[in-house]
Amino acid sequence: MESAATDAELDSLVQDAIVWASQHGLVVGLGGTAPPAALIHAPLSLLPVAFPASRFQQAKAAMTTFNTLIDRVAADEGYLFDTLELAGQQDDFTGRLLQLLQDSKPARAAAAAAAGAKEVVLGVHRSDYMLDAPSGGFLQVELNTIASSFACLSSITSQLHHYTLQRLAAASSSSDAAAAALQLLSASRLPSNAAMQGICRALAAAVVAAGGPGAVMVMVVQPGERNAYDQQWLQHTLWTEHGIVTRRLTLAQIPDCLQLQPDAAGAGSRLVFADSGTPVGLVYFRAGYTPNDYPTDKEWQARALIEASTAAKCPTVAYQLAGSKKVQQDLAAPGVVERFMGQQQGADLRQLFAGLWSLDNITEPTTAAVIQDAIQNPDRFVLKPQREGGGNNLYGPELSAALQQGLAAGGDSLAAFILMQRIVPPPQRSVFVRGGAWGEDESLSELGIYGTFLRVGDEVVINEEVGHLVRTKTSSSNEGGVAAGFAVLDSPLLSEPGEGLLPPQL
């Protein structure tokens, strides 16, 4: 959102926002050589960013259908193996996940049969979108099924922006700026964001369903995590609102801390703490999405131990693979999403799909043509590997060079990638606040919608859209991750056509 306030007014408002953020837990770890508890305000936008209200509602409404889609895709393991086979041959990480899915089949089947209990499946998903300037609608960037972060800090950012608009209205020397700020202070324009509470409801329900009374949640984390405060808001809320304890472990710690314990039927499938016998109802992954999280076989042993247990997993290996870039591309192919969701729901989701192309068969005429188009016009495409976490995609000259090198080597290596239409949203203006300093710049924003899905056996217990995330970056930046250092936390300001809040393209 562009402000009519003076620099002096903005500077004062920035200082107020930094204090508010620090007082209300909108913080990240300081990192570097700082003490472990050192923190700083999260990278943030001073004011919310405008989105078309109708498109925002469309993205929210689609989330429960995407939740169901992921569950159905993950349940079809034959589809996962067929779709990801070539990618797994060229990408070691994808191949290892596929191997784990295959190797864990006997243990999963034995655990389910011996326990006599219904499988508890939990998904915490986030579907990310950018506005497409030509159409004015959202197109999906990706669908995250593992470690969907920033739900808690995003919820607090929405509260911060209500505060900063109030302060702008009260303190502005410009009557125009004050009037504009007051006009925007309504619930319909600044939508509430209860992502933290919604995700915790699903986490708590999964712990109880799979672990019973006294069970705990294990949160799998990365060593030295700077975004621990976003995670610990979940821990705090789980305890204060649901009475559930969270234990934080890295993948490397899990084989030493957890073990399988025979259940009443005599099968070694119940996941418990080795020292106390405390049952684990849910293993919630905020790590495990990148090869860097598996430096040794011990981390893979941890993943296998978890998969073999009757504890709920968020996600299972199958859910993680269902959220891969290759599966996203394949679902957009003619008839595929309809196979899982039927014609009507498939058509609804397809409205949100960007252009996506497989690179499995470079001699196929359509694939060969789109590769040549991307080499000659790289600014119209994004080359995506099977990676999560930000900073992995290729753009511009790097994209063109990677495609040419892949073709020169015979083309097999390109199966590890997908090619995607580059979504170019209309630029806006934002005030970026990082490390106590601020600057105004042209910006692009990405909207994420959170969803939760809990299935116990064949019964869907929870299928909800629970909140949102906005990440804003400078228009010159390709990547958009906050944790990766590319973007700031933001929130949506909903606008109707003709109000002048949105760029002319919208």
Q: Which residues are catalytic?
A: 126, 142, 144, 149, 325, 384, 388-389, 471
To the question of whether residue 401 is assigned a binding role by annotation, the answer is no
Residue 459 is assigned to a ligand binding site: no
226 appears as a binding residue in the annotation:
yes
Q: Measuring CA to CA, which residue among 343, 276, 344, 267 is closest to residue 308?
A: 267
Are 197 and 227 within 8 A, CB to CB? no
- Please provide the DSSP assignment of 117-130 as one string: ---EEEEEEEEEEE
Does 287 appear as a known binding residue?
yes
Q: Is 471 annotated as a binding residue?
A: yes
289 annotated as ligand-binding = yes
Q: Is residue 420 annotated as involved in ligand binding?
A: yes
The CB-side HSE value for 463 (13 A sphere, CA atoms) comes to 15
Q: Is there a binding annotation on residue 136?
A: no
State yes or no: 388 annotated in a binding site: yes
State the Cα–Cα distance between residues 481 and 32, nearest whole angstrom.
19
Q: Is 390 annotated as a binding residue?
A: yes
Residue 125 phi, psi (nearest 5)? -115, 160
Among 346, 390, 326, 359, CA closest to 128: 390
- Over the range 295-312, which residues count as b (16 or more CB within 10 Å of their CB) and which as e? eeeebbebbbbbbbbbbb
Enumerate helices (H) and strands (E) in the chain, giving the number of each. 16, 20
Distance CA 16, CA 167 (A): 9
232 is annotated as contributing to ligand binding: no
Under a CB-based contact definition with an 8 Å cutoff, are residues 436 and 58 in contact? Answer: no
248 is in an annotated binding site: no
Residue 249: φ, ψ to 5°? -140, 145
For the CA atoms of the chain, what is the radius of gyration? 23
Q: Is 169 marked within a binding site?
A: no
- 483 among annotated binding-site residues: yes
Report which secondary-structure segment, H or E, holds 425.
none
- Is 186 marked as a binding-site residue? no
49 is in an annotated binding site: no
Instruction: Choose among 318, 321, 323: nearest CA to 455.
Output: 318
Q: Is 174 annotated as a binding residue?
A: no
Mention every residue, 6+ apart, whose C-beta is less than 8 A from residue 105. Answer: none
Residue 286 known to bind ligand? yes
Pick out the residues of the known binding site for substrate.
126, 146-149, 225-227, 231, 286-289, 471, 482-483
Pick out the residues of the known binding site for Mg(2+).
142, 144, 388
Pick out the residues of the known binding site for ATP.
142, 325, 384-393, 395, 420-423, 446, 473, 479
Pick out the residues of the known binding site.
126, 142, 144, 146-149, 225-227, 231, 286-289, 325, 384-393, 395, 420-423, 446, 471, 473, 479, 482-483
